[in-house]
A and B are shown apart, each in its own frame.
Chain A
């Protein structure tokens, strides 16, 4: 049984349809990359999958025992109040909140998870700094560490590498790869970095005028895939 399945899904805002008739399913351990142009509806799809936004029509079916507190999420934009007093440690730890249920305080184990993930993202030296006084890339790492804390089965990432430097970017891809291959965590990632998408993903969902869903191999042969990737290659030259 797939972990997540979309049937005839139509997305949009206030009955204005942006994407219609999406059909795809994701199994445990898949690595799905969602690609498409700006404004094609990738973020909207992710929010709909997360139940933050309701679909216009169609169904999202979760299976395989997936519960909402086993999902990690990195938003594309986090609008944090300008004067919000919050330390890096507090924010990363809040990623463990879903594990708590009604329990009021974090367990030592959860604090360890937070510390581990801060180390992973190379921000353990910032742990008592104030979030809003960090650089954009550092903030991105904090939110990634928080997302990793919440992840137990499924991780959704909306442009995780935007704002990261090249070294951090490749480290990021390695971490995601490791989570996917070793911990068998399902990954859904939105990315404009098509070469990385093709390199790491097992499946690709292309949103746009033409919708494509399938394995990476089929994507490269397909119509949108061929165009999108060849554009990319031309740009790289």
Chain B
């Protein structure tokens, strides 16, 4: 035990570890906030879809040799998010099918472009790290950390500010519209926030594992809690603690960051499911 603490305090002295912790916690917090809404709107897979879009956009950006690919990736992902959540409403192509189409499509195009034009020697390594998250969270620059902090603050504030409206629109969109809430506007807002979160989270867990970060805390909280507020608070706390734990474990045992966080999330889900069953049994 002592050894672990020593090792930790040794690592803590390095700024890159502190950066990783800050960024990890913030991303976990943001993604869990909207997770509840996404799960309930049956958009669990939007994380996947959008992150693949972001992957495709990144490929395009690197082919175009853009120096700051954020500037291209973020808008592209936002546009896709808006398109996807719109199709969810007027259902000519069902939400899940549209997400699958866009996600697989941009993955394929992205990989194709990288293959055709990439200048990097280690192509499969590059692809792998974009998909599963890389050590890149450990190589964050100060600027990236600040960007992440600012975007996270915006996301959290927007969520708090529109919390009641997001609830109304998620629970019953028709009623919200009928009684004068601008449901379309708030759906758009949700889409944009999600896109921002996903672009942020790609650094942490990579594009394949983002859905886990969004869904698991919400699902775990829903095992035990029964009101929207309690589920939201619980999933935020849970997500943050899982991310912290995951990052620490991955530092100590030098496991991949993204998959470790997701593994901790899965563990928490199992734990909460068991507690949920016990609570149900004793409650009745």
Contact = CB atoms under 8 A, between A and B. Distances in A.
A104 B160 contact: yes
A25 to B, nearest CB: 20
A90 interface: yes
Contacts of A51: 177-178
A68 B168 CA distance: 16
A91 B160 contact: no
B178 A85 contact: no
B115 interface: no
Contacts of B146: none
Contact of B226 (A71, A87, A98): A87
Interface string B219-236: 000100111111100000
B227 A105 contact: no
A98 B171 contact: no
Interface residues of A, number: 40
Contacts, number: 99
B179 A97 contact: yes
A94 interface: yes
Nearest to A98: B180
Contacts of B86: none
B175 A68 contact: no
Interface-central residue, B161, B175, B228, by most chain A CB under 10 Å? B175
A86 B171 contact: yes
Interface stretch (A76-84, A161-169, A196-204, A211-219): A76-84
Contacts of B177: 50-52
B66 interface: no
B178 A104 contact: no
B179 A150 contact: yes
B180 A146 contact: no
A128 interface: yes
Interface residues of B, number: 29
Contact of B164 (A84, A105, A129, A147): A105
B227 A87 contact: yes
A68 B164 contact: no
Most interface-central of A67, A78, A85, A106 (chain B CB within 10 A): A85
B162 interface: yes
Nearest to B222: A85
Given A69-B179, A71-B178, A104-B160, A80 B227 contact: no
B227 A71 contact: no
The residue in B42, B162, B227 that gathers the most chain A C-beta atoms within 10 A of its C-beta is B227
B164 A98 contact: no
Given A80-B172, A84-B40, A71 B160 contact: no
Contacts of B225: 85
Contacts of A55: none
Contact of B181 (A67, A84, A97, A146): A97
Given A85-B228, A87-B226, A100-B164, A52 B171 contact: no
A144 to B, nearest CB: 12
Given A75-B172, A130-B227, 16 more contacts: A52-B177, A67-B180, A68-B178, A71-B178, A85-B227, A86-B167, A86-B227, A87-B227, A87-B228, A94-B168, A94-B175, A97-B179, A98-B180, A104-B161, A130-B226, A150-B180
10 closest Cβ pairs, A-B complex: A69-B180, A130-B226, A98-B180, A87-B227, A150-B179, A68-B180, A73-B178, A98-B179, A50-B178, A94-B168
